[in-house]
Structure formats: C-alpha cells, structure tokens
C-alpha cells in the first residue's frame, strides 16, 4: 500500500475517529499506520515492526477503537475490559492510554491505565466502573488479578506493545500468567521496534496465521537524524556538553547517561553552570518524573538528563537534539535513544560524547547501523585547568564493562553488561558508589521508554508510595535485597526476577530459566485465539 496516496478516511475508520484525528492535527497515515490499520480492521492477528518515531501507537489504537465502537459486548460488567494493552513501563502505559483518549474522545468507550509505583486504591475504584480498554504493566495487572478487582475473561483484543522491550526486561513469566487468564478466542497484536529472532519465536507461539508488517530494516536509524561523535575524555565531557549547549543555543536537549547517579550529577553540574536541567530515572517518584517531562515538553526546562527509562516511547514534538553523554551498553539502545529526534519527518540532530574506553561500544553501534558516524571537533572548546580535579571530587568514574550479549548473565545474577555502579545486587552502592570500602546500600532500579502521540501532555499522577527501607525497582516493592533483578532496563535474573514498573517480584522460586523459544507452548492453530 502506498502511504503517499492513502488517507485516514480511505482506511475505513469511523467518522468520530476521523474527527479526532483531524483535531489532533494529523492528515495522512504514516507507512506503519497505512499498512497495519487495514490488517487489524480485518480481524486477524498482526506482527508489526517499525523504527521508533514512526507512529506505531496509532497503528493499533485507531483500529481497535474502531472495532470496539462497532460491536458491543453482552454482558459487559464493571472491571471486565474488552481490550488489554500490555506495556513494559509506566510512562509508556500512561502515554498509550493518553493516545486512546485522544483518538477515542468522541466515542462512548472508557479506558483505564494501571501501573505500579502509585497507590493501587484509585485503580481499584476505577475498576468498579465499566472499562472497555485497559492499558497496564504486567505486574500491577497481576496484583489486581490476585485481589479479584479485574476480570480478563472478556478480552477480545490483546496488544503487546514494545514486545522486544518486554522480553528484555524479563516479563516472560508474568506474560504467561496473563495469557492463561484470557479467552482463547481473541485477536492478538504484537508491536515492536525491531523483529529480533526472539520476537519471531514469541509470535510463532502466540499468533495464529499473522499478517506481518515491517516498514524499515532492522535496527536502522532515522534518515533525517544527523549523527556525530565527539572524542573526548570522560572527565571533560560535562564541560564540553555545557559549552555545546551554550554555543549552539540548544533550547531543548535530551541527554542520556548510563546510570541514575550519573544523571543526577550531570543535572546538578549543568544547573550550577547556568543551564536549567533536571534528571529523570527510576529512583524519581512518578510525580517528579511527570513534572520534569511536562516542563521539558513545554520548553520551560531546556535540558532533560535521563537514563534509558526515556529511550523508548517518549514522543516530544520536533525534539531537535539528543545527546549520548555515555554510549549505551546495548547497541540497539542507541537506535532507540536517537529515535527521540527526527520524528514524523522532522529533522533532528544526535551527538555522542565518546572516550577511549567506549571505542568498542561505538564500533558495535556502527556495525549495527551499517555506517560510520561522522567525527566532529569543537575547535573553540578549551577544557578548564581544574576540570579533571573537579570531576574527581564530584563524581567517581563508574567503570565500563564488557557486555556478553543481550541475554548474558554474570555469575552473581546481574546482566553481564550492566555497569557496576548501577547494578541491582545486594551490594549496590549509593551516592558513594565506586569508593573502596563503601558500605553497600540497596538501590532502586528503573525501566525505559514510553511513546505518546505528539499532542499528548503528561498527566500528573499522585499517590506514589515509596518504601525507603526496602529495595525497589521503579518504585515497586521487592521482597528482599538479595532478590533484586532489573536495573536501567537490563534483564532480571529469571529464577528470582524482580519486576520493573509496578511488577512485584515473587520470592521463593529458584527454578532454572526457561528458554525464550518456549515462552508459549501453544502453536499456531492450536486454539490460542
């Protein structure tokens, strides 16, 4: 289908949906939307992949709104959703539900978002009313199932959004539990940034004769994003960043660091040097994260420093600048990071500050995207004489580690590519991380990514419950410090997995991790629809 001649009206969407699309400022579908929407409307299963920023969210929200508006479930009691959308992170869940509200505002359909890190009672109250579309993270959803506040027996459409991220974050067992609660006859939609082999294996077990949509090659970067690398020592990075922000007059820049501690320190440094900045990561409360995103989107906060919690799903209209203060351990995450700019056909700019210890990471990224990233030089930049001493006094360098692959696990149960300074282990260091003899302190981890329609603004979410005496992952209680798993989006240990974004760890299980290929025992045609 040629998206250049396709309109939303020609796709067969209901008039109230077309009206909402027009009010949101959209005129024509993106390639992923032009191909996915007819497939979903046809009623079959779908496996869809497109690089970030191409409109995948609308690719499934628009047709499912149409389907649900054309049919009526009988009976449809409170707390019994007709459509279930699973997302890996709380930000992504919130923004997907915002998309549902944006495009469905003229329809008599009710939606609800649920995730951990916030008070569960308002969610329980909302489930006492009719809910047509439920957007949830797996762990919090299972919490509700355990309390018998939600009934999944009426789900007609299941959507796994950012399915590759779900696998990376160790949600296999929770997804299996959710699937067991769903009716066998349903429509299944898998949306992903990439078609990894693991995603194809997952689809083989879950989907029945699915249509496949892939509008971009695997792990490609947006064509309209200018990429450049500055070779610079680690201790001079923050000075160079401040120089570039002032010299180039960046009014909106999203800066990625590898760790939460590093994000905090960098934001503090920039603020001290006259550049308004805030950090966003899993140790921040949901309200603080929402506020920072809102300020960044409306332009009142020029610099947002983030860990990979923001790498997926953040949809900021015409974000001009992305900076990799540190390269990610996983090359694919580079694609998702810089995909925050150059969205929806707009031009964007992405730079990376790379020191000698990151050369191998840079090489891996260039192999992945099949191109050499241009090297740039800040000819007018001269580091101050005390830059290194100031860095050492303010921030102990966290050493790089080799990553043994996306599924590699170190002997202590930490993903082998996780940086030492931010591992989810009992001995994880706090503010004094990296200092020999420092007393271990339990820390909270985080997860990444979220997507929203460009018109959506983050909503303030209150009632966030934090338990400072217990280790947490993205604001969600863990049973014991020794059973920690996920940090910064790295996969948790499968046999004692600590969930992310409101997904509670289940202690007392020490079974060997199951192969991903065996995630779903049902085969196509075996009655899993």
Residue-by-residue DSSP string for 27-69: -S--HHHHHHHHHHHTT--EEEE--TTS-HHHHHHHHHHHHHH
Residue scoring higher pLDDT (523 or 298): 298
Residue scoring higher pLDDT (301 or 225): 301
For residue 384, being part of any structural domain is answered with yes
293, 426 Cβ separation under 8 angstroms: no
Quick one: average pLDDT of 494-503?
39
Instruction: Give me the pLDDT at residue 149, please.
Output: 96
For residue 236, being part of any structural domain is answered with yes
For residue 78, being part of any structural domain is answered with no
Instruction: Give me the pLDDT at residue 435, please.
Output: 40
pLDDT at 92 over 50: yes
CATH code of residue 233? 3.40.50.300
Nearest to 190 by CA among 182, 201, 181, 174: 201
pLDDT in tens, 309-357: 665 556 676 788 999 999 998 888 888 788 777 665 566 899 999 999 9
For residue 386, being part of any structural domain is answered with yes
User: Domain count of the chain?
Assistant: 1
pLDDT in tens, 239-284: 999 999 999 999 899 999 998 899 999 999 999 999 999 998 878 8
C-alpha span between 323 and 327 (Å, rounded): 10
pLDDT in tens, 394-422: 655 444 443 333 333 333 333 333 333 33
For residue 514, being part of any structural domain is answered with no
C-alpha span between 203 and 188 (Å, rounded): 9
Instruction: Give me the pLDDT at residue 529, please.
Output: 38
For residue 304, being part of any structural domain is answered with yes
Domain that holds residue 244: 225-394
C-alpha span between 457 and 292 (Å, rounded): 12
For residue 243, being part of any structural domain is answered with yes
| Chain position carrying tokens 């989907």 | 207
For residue 513, being part of any structural domain is answered with no
Q: Which residues pair with 212 in a beta bridge?
A: 47
C-alpha span between 433 and 398 (Å, rounded): 8
C-alpha span between 209 and 46 (Å, rounded): 8
Instruction: Give me the pLDDT at residue 171, please.
Output: 86
């Amino acid at each position: 289908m040629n998206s250049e001649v396709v309109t939303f009206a020609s796709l067969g969407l209901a008039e109230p949906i077309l009206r909402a699309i027009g009010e949101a400022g959209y005129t024509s579908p993106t390639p992923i939307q032009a191909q996915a929407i007819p497939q979903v409307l046809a009623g079959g299963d779908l496996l869809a992949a497109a690089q970030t920023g191409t409109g995948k969210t609308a690719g499934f929200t628009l047709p499912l709104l149409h389907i649900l508006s054309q049919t009526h479930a009988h009976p449809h009691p409170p707390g019994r959703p007709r459509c279930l959308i699973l997302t890996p992170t709380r930000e992504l869940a919130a923004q997907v539900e915002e998309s549902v509200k944006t495009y469905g505002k003229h329809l008599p359909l009710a939606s609800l978002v649920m995730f951990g890190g916030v008070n569960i009672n308002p969610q329980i109250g909302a489930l006492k009313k009719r809910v047509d579309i439920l957007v949830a993270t797996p762990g919090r959803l299972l919490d509700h199932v355990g309390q018998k506040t939600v009934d999944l027996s009426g789900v007609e459409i299941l959507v796994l959004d950012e399915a590759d991220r779900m696998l990376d974050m160790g949600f296999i067992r929770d997804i299996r539990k959710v699937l067991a609660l769903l009716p066998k006859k349903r429509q299944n939609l898998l949306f992903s940034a990439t078609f990894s082999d693991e995603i194809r294996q997952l689809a083989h077990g879950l989907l029945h004769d699915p249509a496949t949509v892939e509008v971009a090659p695997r792990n490609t970067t947006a064509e309209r994003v200018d990429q450049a690398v500055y070779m610079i020592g680690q201790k001079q990075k923050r000075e160079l960043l401040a120089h570039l922000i002032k010299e180039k007059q960046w009014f909106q820049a999203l800066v990625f660091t590898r760790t939460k501690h590093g994000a905090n320190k960098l934001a503090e440094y920039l603020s001290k040097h006259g550049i308004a900045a805030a950090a966003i990561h899993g140790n921040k409360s949901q309200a603080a994260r929402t506020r920072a995103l809102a300020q960044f989107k409306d332009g009142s906060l020029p610099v947002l420093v983030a860990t990979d919690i923001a790498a997926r799903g953040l949809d900021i209209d015409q974000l001009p600048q992305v900076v990799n203060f540190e390269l990610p351990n996983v090359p694919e995450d580079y694609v998702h990071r810089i995909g925050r700019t150059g969205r929806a056909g707009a031009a964007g700019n992405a730079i990376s500050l790379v020191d000698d210890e990151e050369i191998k990471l840079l090489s891996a990224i260039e192999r992945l995207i099949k191109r050499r990233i241009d090297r740039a030089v800040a000819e007018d930049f001269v580091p101050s004489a005390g830059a290194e001493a100031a860095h050492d006094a303010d921030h102990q360098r966290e050493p790089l580690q080799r990553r043994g692959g996306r599924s590699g696990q170190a002997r202590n149960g930490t993903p082998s590519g996780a940086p030492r300074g931010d591992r989810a282990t009992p001995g994880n260091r706090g503010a004094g991380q990296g200092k020999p003899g420092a007393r271990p302190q339990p820390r909270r981890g985080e997860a990444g990514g979220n997507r929203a329609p460009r018109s959506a603004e983050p909503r303030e979410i209150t009632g966030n419950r934090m338990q400072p005496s217990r280790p947490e992952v993205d604001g969600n209680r863990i049973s014991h410090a020794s059973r920690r798993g996920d940090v910064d989006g790295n996969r948790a240990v499968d046999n004692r997995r600590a969930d992310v974004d409101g997904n509670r760890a289940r202690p007392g299980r020490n079974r060997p991790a199951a192969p991903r290929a065996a995630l779903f025992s049902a085969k196509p045609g075996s009655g899993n629809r």
